[in-house]
Structure 1
């Protein structure tokens, strides 16, 4: 008897990046494919000490069921940090701790999206959001990115011509492009959304990883006040394996999110929350983040200079001021998917750009990750890739 799956599974596929990572398990391959933090920077000893202290001080409580909202002292830490670092007022009661920021996307889909609802995303857009919202059979509308954020004229047209439920955006060091919204674009987005029944979802997992330029306030709370949802994560500043993220929302929206989370997993790991809280209490998180910024800044600089040295002039590359990614655009006649196959033969990997586009475009683009390689491997990998691109362009 054939198994009858839900209709939604017919249009949702495995994560393209997760499949690529299987190919790069070969240690001889220099991989710029994964969106992975550098494991050398994980605070292993400090987290170990925090875990021991949690077990000694509150072992039974840390192993017990907990509230859906999350560990209150950890939520207060996040709220205080928003005030200190972003200059915005967020209360602990407005914060919902989640199992990674990816769960935030799932909860948003459950609470807001019906089959066929329009969701506006960036072009190119975050693959995790595309996969998550596709589960709810939503219809995607896209807005192109310029060097300093979305094309506001295109965004206004999309908003005017369509009845949309949500606009999802990564405003700092966007995945995959590495681009950041300027203050002018943040204000422009806020102005366009005011008075419209469109939920703005601002995902900010990379915001603290700025190693040049100035920090910007988030659109949510910074420009839209209480309207919208702001997402955050400890994955890029502490350890992704803990799967700790959060959502900032209030009122009826928060109540609905709590209900959806209760139906999903009851609550996020009690132990993980307490360990992270003990870690940020006993250690200076800013000092740790500064180490990450310095390392990633150096690795980004090596990749940019290596690209200038080894890539052909036809390859256009973004210049991010933080985060973990660079974005490469090749001449329109070039297929990055075909280039990937050739690059693997030369023992170097990247992520072709097409999966980041829901409209079938982006064939000539690809993403490079600079956070999970050392400087020597970055230079050698870019050298191999540059040679492959030049050869591929000659054949094309």
Structure 2
């Protein structure tokens, strides 16, 4: 080129970054004259795309000036690399620097808040965007819906949904899948039909949500009809996730042969989630033969997981099977401990079953004992064991 201006340099940096040629993009950035805010922002975005977050932060600090776009780039980069807590801290720093956040910043921090399940922070962010007039932005509105749903606040999500003037397919899908994931399958199905009445055609995600709702409530016939309606009425071919819902629906209802038939005849290779669903159904409905087969298939994917323990414990007949006796003797099998969390005054507390690691363990169990006593109408609690710290 006879003349290279700032636009041509920035264009090369952007496309080298998007092509995963970050080293060439960095060399171009160093060599280019007259770097502007857009140049720095493009390079920061490229570094974050290849998970060089620390380098992106150093470059952000070196910038002569920060605007809303550059802040949005670094905030989005942290969130895309799984640093949700740091994302929220950066957003606070941006507000402290008197920089007006744009819609991209809001959608990013809402996603971070949802990932951490911080309901109080999500409500504060919602108030912030209301003050700035973003409430009718469909992209931000959908992010708020998804955030409230992931935080378990169904009523807040419903209020936001009803206040939206421009509801698109993403808005409806947020409500359908959110209700289904929170275990309220009936409301998911009702929302699905309400969407159809509004003349909005469902897509793959819509059907996934309604299938999950049927699965939670054991609506086998309805689930089969929705699954068939995807192709017959809307020309949507089911994906692996739709087959997984159908398999789980049959397995939970005790239709284990139909669940196994779905797995064998679907146009995808079964993943561990399919065999896990069948294995769980066999444990519930006491079907040791198919259970052993599913356990054998699952062991090929997850040989180090202790997935056989509850199956063996809950099905007495299975203790006599040589295959499971061999698996129980495996020294390397272990089950990952599950945990729950609760948010109190902006701080998240993790806890496990019979957890005694908290500094106020005695008071927590004492209050828990009192709540159970009152909930049972002052009846004596039998077979309930608590472990307290001795003072």
TM-score (norm 2): 0.28
- The structure with more strand, counted as a fraction of residues: 1
Larger RCO of the pair (alpha carbons < 8 Å, separation 6+): 1
Decide which structure has the larger Cα Rg and report it. Answer: 2
TM-score (norm 1): 0.28
